[in-house]
Amino acid sequence: MNRMKLFLVLLPAVMVMKVSAAEPDVESARMEYAKARLVGGGKVAEVRIDAGLQHPEAYRVQTEGGKSVIEGGAAAGVQYGVQAMLEGDFTPGAVEKPDFAIRGTTLCLMPGDYKATLSPKHYPWFYDKGFMTRTLDAFAAARLNTIFLWAGHLFPYIVEMPDYPEAAADVPPEQVTANQEQFRWFATECDRRNIQVLMMFYNIHVSPPFAAKHGMKTNPKKPTPLLREYTHYALTRYFKEFPAVGLYACPGESIESKYQLEWFRDVIFDAAKKSGKNPVIVVRDWTMNMDFRKQMKSLYENVYSELKHNDESLTSPFPDVRHLQLEGIARGHIVNFHLVADLVPMRWGSPLLLQESMVYLKRLGFVQGVEFYGQSFWKWPYTLDKLDPKQKGYIPEGPKLLSLDRDAVYFDAFGRYLWRAERDEGGEQKYWESYFGRKYGSTEAGRLIYRWYIVTGPIGPGLQNLNATKVAGYWPSMLLLNQKVDMILNLNKDLADTPYTLYRETGRVDGRYYPRPFDSYFVARYHQEYALPKTGKLPVMYKEMATYKQRVGVADLEQRHCMPVTQYAQYLERGEEVDSAMTPERAARLLNKLAVESVELARAAEAAVAEGPDKEELRRFVNDSEMYVLATQAMIHKENAAILKARMLQSNKADKGAEFIREMEASVEVVRKLAALTTGTYLYGNDLVQSHWKDKTQWEFQGDLAAQRKWLESFGSQSGAKHE
């Protein structure tokens, strides 16, 4: 049984292994890794290369003369064939190859202040070879082939830069040497597992000691001759030193838009070309200059564009409509499932919702890959679970959960559906029930926990998408933030309004957001609960939706949207029923019903296992469900309040004022209960800014109540109708 591991602390050992500067025989190393996995898994099979499979990652498992044979298009394919045999999840004789070329997750080597450094003090896990080996094995088993290393500017800390000794002057020389050797070990270990490393860097940032030496900020806005020369030099050294490496850059951070084209052409792309390795370079659309976008493909061959899936959240399985604007601008396009602030810190990992997401990406026809962040990004490798009631902060030693264990389903489901998105529904249910049954040592617990993940899948995204009030200017969001009544009424008013994210540069949209379609499971439950929306009539949507709808192939796409409160109130004031789209109060009630259902599933799963670590973990599932119940109750009250205010504004009467205030007061009381519940179970609700419901959310809901009381008093006197 795969029990949840508790780690007290990872030792910051700086033991390093020297690796020859000569490039290893990559194919041979990958074949040896595949054979070792086979033996370690207790399986016997012949392994061989068959170039006729016509894809380096393709594989076929079959029987010849009474013995098992695993064939791969290259050594990478053999590795994936071995994994299929170990899982017992393959069709004999069938050729399997991936739907997406780039299948990657992200690790963070950057502090919250975005200033570069690298040492065991800051990232002890990176130097723990035992832990890193286990991590890379887990990623390889999920068939991930890319690691995006999120960093500010690590180059002087991992390669020798004798021309600029000041660049890493904040760590001792022996630490720079240890960093270089550790990174070389890391890159080599990734390479033999068919994992490429893409170093993210803020493309015009520099290290703090370099900035101090030359009298500049760590994030200058415009290029200078020194910055051009220094950055080109750093990239040249990086490409020379490491196998299977590439780059990942954000043109809008921090360079001014007008300098982007020349900076990438003359510095980044030029260094890549001169390396002779043709490394992958991913350019994320974040305030990307339009001229640069148009010319990017002609400037460098092996370049990929990237855009966030749903901003910094997983609000919907449907990708942002803006992705269509990036079709064809590069060799391929990557979708970035960024910080999933609407899902954490709770357990989340709906295989059904993640599969649906990958299906739509495949249907777009031009998406080549996905980058997804883990659920514990800034505090990797730990989750935010508070296991010791006395623990007040994150740093003090104490029992913690590893994200690699707790959130394994998240990594594994992404990997499974990036490999092949469209699969048989019944087969998938059996696969995941068996997966969870092995994890918790109980067939019954496996069945219940699979159901738990399916039922809870829509709750976090649904709470986010209900009003689409997430303010992009405040990235470190968390459950229930940005749900003030006036935001609900004013940020989105009509489904037909064109999102102005569609005609502004990404990153220059003033923190606006817009409603997206709900997932298929939630829509099916909505139909089951309300027999709505009715077939036939479709709500009016913005014109770009028609093209998008055709690409994703969903006939009722318009009806999968929730009508904004302001628009819905117009129907109510006219005495008309809304039957062509989902409505906010019904959606909120259904989210609550799913949460209540999940409590019973979690309790039953807990009861199905004996006392021990598994039972303790399943008890935490119960806690997460109880959080969901309170969060959805709070939103029911807030939706009711918003609808009442919208109706009063449209009628210019304060006749619903008393009921409005009661709903607002009820929302505050429920959030107070949520804060009390989570104080002993989670250190934070957000791992970057370390905020918690007991301060941030309570403060916001209480402040909103006070503001609405003042508004109602003023409105009542102006409208001439005092509320009761």
Q: What are the tens digits of pLDDT across the range 641-700?
A: 999 999 999 999 999 999 999 999 999 999 999 999 999 999 989 887 788 999 889 999
Q: How confident is the model at residue 7 (pLDDT cuts 50, 70, 90)?
A: very low
Query: What gap in Å lies between CA 403 and CA 4, rounded to an integer?
Result: 10
Across 487-493, average pLDDT: 94
Q: How confident is the model at residue 528 (pLDDT cuts 50, 70, 90)?
A: very high
Q: Are residues 180 and 300 in the same domain?
A: yes
Give the pLDDT confidence score for residue 15 in this predicted structure.
30
Q: What are the tens digits of pLDDT across the range 192-226?
A: 999 999 999 888 889 999 999 999 999 999 999 99
Query: What gap in Å lies between CA 388 and CA 621, rounded to an integer?
Result: 17
Across 378-401, average pLDDT: 82
Q: For residue 506, is it within any domain? A: no
Q: Are residues 111 and 74 in the same domain?
A: no
Give the pLDDT confidence score for residue 394 in this predicted structure.
62
Q: How confident is the model at residue 253 (pLDDT cuts 50, 70, 90)?
A: confident
Give the pLDDT confidence score for residue 19 in this predicted structure.
31
Q: For residue 469, is it within any domain? A: no
- Write the burial class of residue 510 (CB in 10 Å: 0-12 exposed, 13-18 middle, 19+ buried): exposed
Q: What are the tens digits of pLDDT across the range 125-156?
A: 999 999 999 999 999 999 999 999 998 899 99
Q: Which residue has the higher pLDDT, 139 or 510?
A: 139
Whole-number average pLDDT of the chain: 91
Say if CB 559 and CB 577 are below 8 A apart: no
Give me the percent of the chain exceeding a pLDDT of 90: 80
Give the pLDDT confidence score for residue 17 in this predicted structure.
30
Across 284-308, average pLDDT: 93
Entry pTM = 0.94
**pLDDT over 50 at 9, yes or no:** no
Q: Are residues 56 and 116 in the same domain?
A: no
Say if CB 373 and CB 248 are below 8 A apart: no
Q: Are residues 87 and 174 in the same domain?
A: no
At position 397, the amino acid (one-letter code) is: E
**pLDDT over 50 at 393, yes or no:** yes
Q: For residue 2, is it within any domain? A: no
Backbone angles phi, psi at 505, to 5 degrees: -60, 140
- Give 283's strand partners: 249, 305
Q: For residue 505, is it within any domain? A: no
Q: What are the tens digits of pLDDT across the range 555-596?
A: 999 999 999 999 999 999 999 999 999 999 999 999 999 999
Per 3-state DSSP, the chain is made up of helix, strand and coil in percentages (nearest 5) of 50, 10, 40
Q: Helix crossing, 443-456 with 584-607: angle to 10°?
A: 160
Q: Last residue of some domain: 96, 116, 149?
A: 96
Give the pLDDT confidence score for residue 6 in this predicted structure.
37
Q: Last residue of some domain: 392, 424, 456?
A: 424
Across 374-379, average pLDDT: 90
Across 51-80, average pLDDT: 96
Q: For residue 446, is it within any domain? A: no
Q: For residue 153, is it within any domain? A: yes
Q: Are residues 267 and 343 in the same domain?
A: yes
Where in the sequence is the domain holding 259, given as residue range(s)? 102-424
Q: Last residue of some domain: 39, 69, 96?
A: 96
Across 389-408, average pLDDT: 82
**pLDDT over 70 at 511, yes or no:** no
Provide the pairing of β-strand 146-150 with 102-108: parallel
Q: What are the tens digits of pLDDT across the range 71-90?
A: 999 999 999 999 999 999 99
**pLDDT over 70 at 472, yes or no:** no
Q: Are residues 333 and 364 in the same domain?
A: yes
Q: Are residues 122 and 86 in the same domain?
A: no
Return the minimum-mean-pLDDT range out of 55-69, 119-133, 193-207, 382-396: 382-396
Say if CB 47 and CB 35 are below 8 A apart: yes
Give the pLDDT confidence score for residue 2 in this predicted structure.
43
CATH code for the domain of 52: 3.30.379.10
CA end-to-end span of the chain? 61
DSSP 265: I
Q: Are residues 155 and 252 in the same domain?
A: yes
Q: What are the tens digits of pLDDT across the range 324-365?
A: 999 999 999 999 999 888 889 999 999 999 999 999 999 999
Find the DSSP H helices in 420-491. 425-440, 443-456, 459-465, 485-490
Q: What are the tens digits of pLDDT across the range 537-549?
A: 999 999 999 999 9
Q: For residue 513, is it within any domain? A: no
Q: Are residues 225 and 198 in the same domain?
A: yes
Q: Are residues 118 and 239 in the same domain?
A: yes
- Write the burial class of residue 78 (CB in 10 Å: 0-12 exposed, 13-18 middle, 19+ buried): buried
- 173: how many CB neighbours lie within 10 A of its CB? 10
Query: What gap in Å lies between CA 239 and CA 510, rounded to an integer?
Result: 37
Q: Are residues 80 and 123 in the same domain?
A: no
Q: Are residues 301 and 166 in the same domain?
A: yes
* Structural domain count, the chain: 2
Give me the percent of the chain exceeding a pLDDT of 70: 94
Cα distances (Å, whole numbers) of residue 637 to 16, 633, 686: 57, 7, 24
CATH code for the domain of 367: 3.20.20.80
- Write the burial class of residue 434 (CB in 10 Å: 0-12 exposed, 13-18 middle, 19+ buried): middle
Return the minimum-mean-pLDDT range out of 256-260, 417-421, 554-558: 256-260
Q: For residue 656, is it within any domain? A: no
Q: What are the tens digits of pLDDT across the range 17-29?
A: 333 323 458 999 9
Query: What gap in Å lies between CA 702 and CA 724, rounded to an integer?
Result: 22
